[in-house]
Amino acid sequence: MKCTVLDFISVAMAYGIIAYSTQLLGFYAMLQLMSAPIWKMWVAIIGVGIKFLLQVSIIWFFIRIMLGYNLKTTDISSAFVPLIIAGIFCFVLRFVGYFILTNVYLISLRHILENISMAIGWFLSLYLLGKKISLSPLKICGIGLLVYFVLPPI
């Protein structure tokens, strides 16, 4: 079964929505604390979704067009698990940071840990995707590095 662009994007978006739910929680909590109107919250939520869709589209484009590999749904299913784990870790960090430990000095530490965990989850997911489709995992990670600098996961 060949995977089309929409199949790849829909499967990756399903994983991405779970992983990036930490961003949505963070935007929502931050804007709630600032008493922001609801339209600003929707703009933040839609912005995160569009950014992730662009990331996934660029990766699909490079794998399909530049490397000439047709992705299958089974190739994708286990590759994005590290991204989900990183998203859950960030969710816990944000929950603790926003509602339990509100110390100003811990905010930068929490932010650094979130960036590190999401970057590790992003690159490990791409590495596993490259390994799963029997291409050079370093090529896929190189593509991920380009996408990471253009549209970082955080």
**CA distances to 20, 39, 45, 150, 154 from 111, in Å:** 15, 25, 19, 20, 10
Task: Domain count for the chain, please give it.
Answer: 1
Is 1 a residue whose pLDDT tops 50? no
Range of the structural domain that residue 56 is part of: 5-150
What integer best gives the mean pLDDT of the chain? 69
Whether the Cβ atoms of residue 16 and residue 80 lie closer than 8 Å to each other: yes
Confidence (pLDDT) at 18: 58
Q: Which tens digits make up the pLDDT trace of 100-126?
A: 766 767 777 877 787 788 778 877 877
Classify each residue of 47-83 as buried b or exposed e, where b means 16 or more C-beta atoms within 10 Å of its C-beta.
ebbebbeebbebbbebbbeeeebebeeebbeebbebb
Structure tokens, 97: 């940071």
**What is the pTM (predicted TM-score) of this model?**
0.60
Q: Residues 54-80: what's their mean pLDDT?
A: 69
Whether the Cβ atoms of residue 82 and residue 121 lie closer than 8 Å to each other: yes
Q: Regarding predicted confidence, which is higher, 67 or 130?
A: 130
